[in-house]
């Protein structure tokens, strides 16, 4: 069953020190929502920003937006887990408000989900035909981790590391998720595949930034954590990936 007062789409934004990018990204998102018939809620979770992001969020007033200021940094994955649990959408999309990803692509993912009845749709930065990465190590990390995911889980996908993911809301809220960092991106794919959920892809635009511009992923550390999640979820029983009815009600 859907939560009471359900909506068509929940957009999850998790932020940490994005003062210069969050405001234009939010404006781009609200612009992309205009003229659409779907009902939308926007859940924004701040992970203890110290650069003025938090102060800007305190002034944000938008009828579709709900803001939560975490008392401590839960990690990107930690905030996403919290947001999924509080979502009400028939579909839930994770959207990074950092101007690397563009809000208009959300509708591509939604249309793909509706066409395929997929439990999870990935926004592929590879299928767009223009592969843009600022750092070679990041690109090869994506290639290697995606290849491992394809081999171990039988997923015919091109970009396991994409941050833009859309999920069936009921399915997402039933998943038992453990990762607190960027490794959650892989955990979502692993557990969806192990549970027999259909995974689809749609091409998206991608405009990466540099570390100096605020990019936060750490290739070696986050890559190893992703690898750990990929290997761990291959051997754990799939039945352990679902919340119990009592856990799902929390």
222-233 pLDDT, tens digit per residue, is 899 999 999 999
Residue 207 confidence (pLDDT): 87
Residue 215 confidence (pLDDT): 82
Instruction: Please state which of the ranges 192-201, 209-218, 221-230 shows the lowest mean pLDDT.
Output: 209-218
What SS3 class is residue 157?
coil
What is the distance between the alpha carbons of residues 86 and 102, in angstroms, rounded to a whole number?
24
Which of 2-6, 18-22, 234-238: highest mean pLDDT? 234-238
Statement: residue 5 has pLDDT above 70: no
Angle, nearest 10°, between helix axes 136-153 and 184-194? 20
Reduce the secondary structure of 22-87 to three states and give it as a string: HHHHHHHHHHHHCCCCCCEEEEEEECCCCCCHHHHHHHCCCCCEEEEECCCCCHHHHHHHHHHHHC
Instruction: List strands edge to edge, sheet with 40-46.
Output: 65-69, 40-46, 7-15, 89-94, 165-168, 120-124, 199-203
- Cβ-in-10-Å burial (0-12, 13-18, 19+) of 98 comes to buried
Average the pLDDT over 213-239 and give the result: 91
Q: What length does the chain have?
A: 250
Taking the CA of residue 150 as centre, how many other CA atoms within 13 Å lie in the half-sphere pointing to its CB?
13
pTM of the predicted model as reported, rounded to 2 decimal places: 0.91
The residue among 220, 218, 206, 157 whose CA lies nearest residue 186 is 157
Statement: residue 6 has pLDDT above 70: yes
Residue 2 confidence (pLDDT): 46
* pLDDT tens digit sequence for 18-53: 998 999 999 999 999 998 999 999 999 999 999 999
- Per-residue pLDDT band for 208 (boundaries 50, 70, 90) equals confident
Average the pLDDT over 67-80 and give the result: 94
Q: Does domain 7-248 have CATH number 3.90.550.10?
A: yes
Statement: residue 3 has pLDDT above 70: no
The structural domains of the chain, with segments of one domain joined by +, span: 7-248
Residue 1 confidence (pLDDT): 41
Q: How many CB atoms sit inside 10 A of residue 197's CB?
A: 18
Average the pLDDT over 6-19 and give the result: 93
Average the pLDDT over 69-79 and give the result: 93
């Amino acid at each position: 069953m859907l939560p009471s007062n359900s909506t068509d789409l929940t957009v999850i934004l998790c932020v940490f020190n994005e003062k210069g990018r969050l405001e234009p990204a939010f404006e781009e998102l609200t612009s992309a929502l205009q003229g659409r018939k779907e009902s939308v809620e926007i859940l924004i979770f701040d992970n203890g920003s110290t650069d003025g992001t938090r102060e800007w969020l305190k002034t944000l007033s938008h009828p579709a937006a709900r803001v939560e200021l975490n008392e401590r940094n839960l990690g990107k994955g930690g905030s996403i887990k919290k947001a999924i649990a509080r979502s009400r959408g028939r579909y839930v999309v994770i959207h990074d408000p950092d101007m690397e990803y563009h809000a208009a692509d959300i509708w591509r993912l939604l249309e793909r989900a509706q066409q395929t009845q997929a439990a999870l749709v990935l926004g592929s930065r590879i299928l767009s035909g223009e592969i843009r990465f600022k750092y070679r190590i990041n690109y090869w990390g994506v290639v290697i981790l995606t290849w491992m995911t394809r081999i171990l889980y039988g997923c015919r996908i091109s970009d396991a590391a994409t941050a833009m993911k859309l999920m069936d809301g009921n399915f997402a809220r039933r998943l038992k998720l453990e990762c607190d960092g960027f490794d959650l991106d892989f955990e979502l794919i692993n557990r969806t595949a192990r549970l027999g959920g259909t995974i689809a892809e749609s091409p998206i635009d991608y405009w990466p930034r540099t570390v100096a511009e605020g990019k936060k992923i750490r290739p070696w550390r986050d890559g190893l954590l992703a690898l750990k999640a990929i290997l761990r979820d291959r051997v754990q029983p799939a039945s352990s990936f679902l919340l119990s009815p009592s856990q799902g009600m929390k």
